[in-house]
Structure 1
């Protein structure tokens, strides 16, 4: 079977995007959020699926057990901006969600979020991952996901990543502008991938009160066990094995799920160049990332 050609990114209001995330733009921008909606936001490959599954388990793991084994996670937590021919749009899937709250995911930079989320004061959970591991994960994802532009060789990809020539724009702009939003929008919980890897229980103690949840110790342990990387990688409902555009023979959708894999990809020279560039772009002393734990 011939695969369709890979898309070519273009500038969209100052952000590099592709058509499957902009074709339904007016409908996305007019999305009617509800006060009890929860938006899960992240740059691509920063742990969106992990957070989506944690929230899905916290809210519905026991009340809707049949959904856990029969409905893939990407249908339980629709991807708001996606729009592909002959498939339901993410916006339509979100509109039709039968659950309360509705869990919805997005990779949009903060300035592209539909205004109804702010107007309704919906809760937002933002997940951020250190730039080096995020770049590596995005590189492998680009190779296996035919919806995305061809990432090319690692050297080229890394330069493009540093220059912000990625679908959904610059990693630096994304994490910084969401961090700034947190200072003025109180219903935003900003999480770090590395913190969750380091101490899952501690991060749950911060997340659950934000969500207005108080699960028992046993329930938290159950969520921790089910959302462990190896369990999710084996789970057909969470590993995206049902998505045809992703070729998991090239690379698994859930590849390693660790902190520090960047060391297997960056040369010494690339790392030095990256660190120098990073210093120029990450000026906020309060926003700190860790490249190892």
Structure 2
């Protein structure tokens, strides 16, 4: 299906959340479950994993430019990011599934994205010892971004109002489950798997150059200074927000009249949404839920 057809497609009513193997999901990400679980990873595949709205597209675009930006410049200029970096579990009628897009990718390495909690990742990624980049974002900014995303994204359940959405987030009743379980699950897996690089959204926002170097070192990619500067500029928030091949404006499941896919890209925007009492209550619950982990986040930089 071409970009124009995808941009104009109609969807049925918003999906309902349901429990799927202990994780809240919607059918768009479980309908193709067997094919996803049987997906055959290759040893050089790179999996980009995140909780929703934690920098997935940012890192996807970065890696795509690092590997193919100079050798195939027409690719980044004419192929939308959701085709360049297939969303593995995505299954919406009328569009190619993530598995289909990944299977027909001929470039190497294949870049594939997922929002799965660690226990849902197809076993072939572990068997092939694939490299995985996980990106985590502080809970407060993550929930704000997720709220605005659900307002405009028709493959997500209706978000309701901000207070009820915030409550559901704390209860883990979000698509792809609990933020707490997600970030902690991947953090624990990283401790025993050197093929996982765990990045923080806040570090990317504070010093992209430093994080780009970390990614290059992890992947064994060498960029000269000119290419490094070019990638840094191209993955800047404004550059991506204005790039129709990176900002999801060509996909009809999102209503940009409600909110853009790339809204602010800031650390600390939660302060514009949380009331004092919401913040106090959130902090209280957060301490309890994060008491069993060494994982630390920054909510401002």
Query: What's the TM-score once normalised by structure 1's chain length?
Result: 0.98
Within the candidate set 11, 20, 23, 1:15 is matched to 23
The alpha-carbon deviation at position 284 of structure 1 amounts to 4.3
SS of alignment partner, residue 104 of structure 1: strand
Number of residue pairs aligned between Structure 1 and Structure 2: 293
Aligned residue number for residue 6 of structure 2: none
The alpha-carbon deviation at position 2 of structure 1 amounts to 7.7
* Bigger mean CA offset, 210-219 vs 156-165: 210-219
Distance 1:3 1:124 in 2: 32
Residues 1:81 and 2:79 aligned together: no
SS of alignment partner, residue 189 of structure 1: strand
Kept after mapping to 1: 8 A contact 2:10/2:252: no
Residues 1:205 and 2:213 aligned together: yes
Within the candidate set 127, 131, 141, 2:139 is matched to 131
Aligned residue number for residue 151 of structure 1: 159
Structure 2 counterparts to residues 104-119 of structure 1, below 5 A: 104-119=112-127
Distance 1:82 1:121, change over 3 A: same
Distance 1:179 1:2, change over 3 A: closer
Distance 2:106 2:292 in 1: 40
Aligned residue number for residue 266 of structure 2: 258
Aligned residue number for residue 71 of structure 1: 79
SS of alignment partner, residue 143 of structure 1: helix
Cα-to-partner distance string for 1:178-223 (whole Å, 9 max, x where unaligned)? 0000011110000000001111111122111101111111111100
Cα-to-partner distance string for 1:49-68 (whole Å, 9 max, x where unaligned)? 00000000100010111101
Structure 2 residue ranges without an equivalent (≥5): 1-8
Cα-to-partner distance string for 1:99-121 (whole Å, 9 max, x where unaligned)? 10000000000000000000000
Query: What's the TM-score once normalised by structure 2's chain length?
Result: 0.96
Residues 1:193 and 2:211 aligned together: no
Structure 1 residue ranges without an equivalent (≥5): none
Residues 1:227 and 2:232 aligned together: no
The alpha-carbon deviation at position 285 of structure 1 amounts to 5.0
* Bigger mean CA offset, 1-10 vs 256-265: 1-10
Aligned residue number for residue 38 of structure 1: 46
The alpha-carbon deviation at position 85 of structure 1 amounts to 1.0
Distance 2:225 2:10 in 1: 50
